[in-house]
Structure 1
Amino acid sequence: MSDSRTPGHEVPEPIQAIKLRHPWRNVFAVVVLAMVALFLYDAAFNRPVYAWDEVGKYLFDVRVISAIGYTLQLTIYSMIIAIVLGVILAVMRLSPNPVLRSVAWAFLWVFRGTPVYVQLTFWGLVGVVYKTIDIGIPFQEPWFQFDTQAMLSYFTLAVIGLALNESAYMAEIVRAGLLAVDKGQEEAAVALGLGWWHTMSRIVLPQAMRVIIPPTGNEVISMLKTTSLVIAVPFTLELYTRTRDIAAVTYKPVPMLIVASIWYLLITSILMVGQYYLERYFAKGVGARPDTVKPLTPTEAVAIQRANETEAVAPADRNDDPDTRWPDGERSRS
């Protein structure tokens, strides 16, 4: 029995890949790990100023836990207001009305062009600038009058200051997300008879969220850390200021800074995990490649089958036998 494999269709030998070596990369990694280990050892045993016992003592202190609650409230309330205002400002920026575009641009110009600490300081002095809040017809006796300092607490002023500053950045993030959606999507929705609300909520925004979510997550994390500046209002019950007040009593500022840093890192890590899952949810189907269609028969088997058919139809002595010049024994017609 002859071998079914033809010389032109021999099975190639498997390739033996040799892994590329990177000796200097390994050396660099060892050096970095050694430096990290030396730093941790030095911080743990050779730096008494860190006072790790004080860190453990105040890490779960009632005052620190209460300050974490205020920090989270400042972050959540400010971001909710900032996102709502940011969407409104983004729509105003994209509006064909020149007045709305100009007002939105002026708002962004002011709140993005001045430091957030300066803005918070101004909001802390708003009770001095505007002693009362009057409601009524201009240039007439007010219908209602409220004392500003009695009506607006420092916590409320801190939320307002953080939210207005953040809304300017959120407006640009939302505007970038809306502009990232192809104009043809909106035109197709209009052609189908969808109104503005359904077009935005069902067509444009779901696609824009893929662009909006990553920077928004970064802004939430940034807002968490920006709450440490509300001392300018002054609001003194958030995490950083509370640990600083404790350090003023214990005369050990470094351990309290470590306590605040540990809690900031923990909350930031949780927010980063949430951001990761949100990004993955809104990025479904983006950049996905279709599955490769695998052949039902291996390429090697097809080649061998064709070679066998050729041998069966055209044997080596076909030139001597006129009956085998044509398939199925057909003779050539003169």
Structure 2
Amino acid sequence: MSEPVTLTPPSEHPPISDHVTRFDPQVAHRRVTPRLRPWRWIVSAAVLVVLTQFIVGVFTNSHYEWNKFWAYFTRESILDGVVVTLQVVALSAVVGLVLGVLVALGRLSTNPLINGLSWAYVWFFRALPLPLLLIITFNFSYFYPRLGVGIPWGPVFAEVQTSALTPLAIGVIALSLNEAAYAAEVIRGGILSVEGGQIEAANALGLTKARQLRRIVLPQALRSIVPAYGNQLVGLIKASSLVYYVSLLDLFGAVYVLESRHPESIVPILIVGATWYLVLTAVLSVVQFYVERFYARGNARALPPTPIQRLRNFTTSSYVRLTRRGF
């Protein structure tokens, strides 16, 4: 049998030493400064030197023919190609998102038929290469000259000629079908990321499934859906260059035709095409950042700083550090 434990009364505790409870006047006036990290500044300076040398080398290299850049950058055929690219991306993104939401809800459905059809859709269009899908869509009128709406094995109420589809419509249809398959998985993953306790609480409150989805699930799921779907839209901008397979002159098609007509200016024309794609992607990235920042409200203690705020904070902190060190 173990011996009983004897507790020491509070009055018998050893006294706390005097140097713990009192401030040392020689230490109190000292200023706390952040730890110096010289290697961080050395590496940053080295990277900045290499980057500066690369940029200067690019703009001083005569083989890039920068004197022709602006002439081709604002050329009418290039601007028309940019407009077509924006049309294709915007229409495909909207149609693909709507169809992707329906497929994602079908994947989450408890109905085995709807769930199976939604799974088959995602499997088929993710497995099919996009150039092949564009070619099949382009030749769709060969297999089905007419599409109609009516009673099965009965009269047809309305029909359309598939041969009347324009290259823009063909490109949007193919890109939308492909985009919807990936968007469905992004949306399904975002919905599944919501904690099950949220659904249980909504069921306890007697909310309908539609209201649960609209008021509880989607506002939380969008925090994880927006970054992933923004990445999908960046991929869609690049994938839109494949509509040249269906005789649609987008930005890539305009660049290709222009360089075939001016073989002596291939390099500046290619740089123009790359620059326009970089501009479109940069604009989309800025929009994505602010959308993510909007949906981060209420979840993060502090909203992520904008690039301008981050630059201002860095400049201010660097100035304070240099001032403290007597520079």
TM-score when normalising by structure 1 = 0.77
Q: CA deviation at 1:144?
A: 3.9
Between the two proteins, what is the percent identity of the paired residues? Answer: 34
Task: Give 1 or 2 for the bigger CA radius of gyration.
Answer: 1
Deviations 1:107-161 (A, max 9, x none): 01011112111111211111222222233334456444432111x1110010011
Deviations 1:244-269 (A, max 9, x none): 11111111222111111111111211
2:183 equivalent to 1:167: no
Q: What is residue 303 of structure 1 aligned with on the other side? A: none
2:209 equivalent to 1:209: no
Q: What is residue 327 of structure 1 aligned with on the other side? A: none
Deviations 1:248-298 (A, max 9, x none): 111122211111111111121111111111111111122428xxxxxxxxx
Q: What is residue 240 of structure 1 aligned with on the other side? A: 252
Superposed counterparts of 1:109-148, under 5 Å = 109-140=123-154, 142-148=156-162
Q: Over the residues paired in the alignment, what is the CA RMSD in angstroms?
A: 2.1
1:54/1:18 CA distance change after superposition, 3 Å: closer
1:111–1:168: 8 Å Cα contact kept in structure 2? yes
**Counterpart residue identity of residue 43, structure 1:** V
Aligned partners of 1:76, 1:263: CA distance in 2, in Å?
16
Residue 157 of structure 1: SS of its match in structure 2? Answer: helix
Q: 1:288 aligns with which of 301, 309, 317?
A: 301
Q: 1:22 aligns with which of 31, 38, 43?
A: 38
Larger mean CA deviation between 243-252 and 104-113 belongs to 243-252
Q: CA deviation at 1:40?
A: 2.9
2:216 equivalent to 1:221: no
Q: CA deviation at 1:68?
A: 1.2
Q: CA deviation at 1:29?
A: 3.7
Q: What is residue 43 of structure 1 aligned with on the other side? A: 58
Superposed counterparts of 1:171-320, under 5 Å = 171-236=184-249, 238-251=250-263, 252-288=265-301
Residue 148 of structure 2: SS of its match in structure 1? Answer: strand
1:173–1:216: 8 Å Cα contact kept in structure 2? yes
1:7/1:209 CA distance change after superposition, 3 Å: closer
1:191/1:147 CA distance change after superposition, 3 Å: same
1:15/1:71 CA distance change after superposition, 3 Å: same
1:244–1:253: 8 Å Cα contact kept in structure 2? no
Query: Matched residue pairs, number?
Result: 280
2:107–2:114: 8 Å Cα contact kept in structure 1? yes
2:148–2:159: 8 Å Cα contact kept in structure 1? yes
Q: What is residue 317 of structure 1 aligned with on the other side? A: none
Q: 2:99 aligns with which of 85, 109, 113?
A: 85
2:112 equivalent to 1:105: no
Larger mean CA deviation between 198-207 and 28-37 belongs to 28-37
Aligned partners of 2:86, 2:131: CA distance in 1, in Å?
19
Aligned partners of 1:203, 1:46: CA distance in 2, in Å?
56
**Counterpart residue identity of residue 132, structure 2:** V
1:131–1:147: 8 Å Cα contact kept in structure 2? yes
1:130/1:176 CA distance change after superposition, 3 Å: same
2:150–2:157: 8 Å Cα contact kept in structure 1? yes
Superposed counterparts of 1:56-95, under 5 Å = 56-95=70-109
Aligned partners of 2:281, 2:19: CA distance in 1, in Å?
65
Aligned partners of 1:220, 1:268: CA distance in 2, in Å?
9
1:111–1:165: 8 Å Cα contact kept in structure 2? yes
**Counterpart residue identity of residue 63, structure 1:** S
2:48 equivalent to 1:33: yes
2:244–2:252: 8 Å Cα contact kept in structure 1? no
Unaligned segments of structure 1, at least 5 residues: 1-5, 290-334
2:77 equivalent to 1:53: no
Deviations 1:227-259 (A, max 9, x none): 1111122322x1111121111111122211111
Aligned partners of 2:175, 2:19: CA distance in 1, in Å?
78
Aligned partners of 1:142, 1:7: CA distance in 2, in Å?
96
1:98/1:54 CA distance change after superposition, 3 Å: same
1:91–1:175: 8 Å Cα contact kept in structure 2? yes
**Counterpart residue identity of residue 279, structure 2:** L
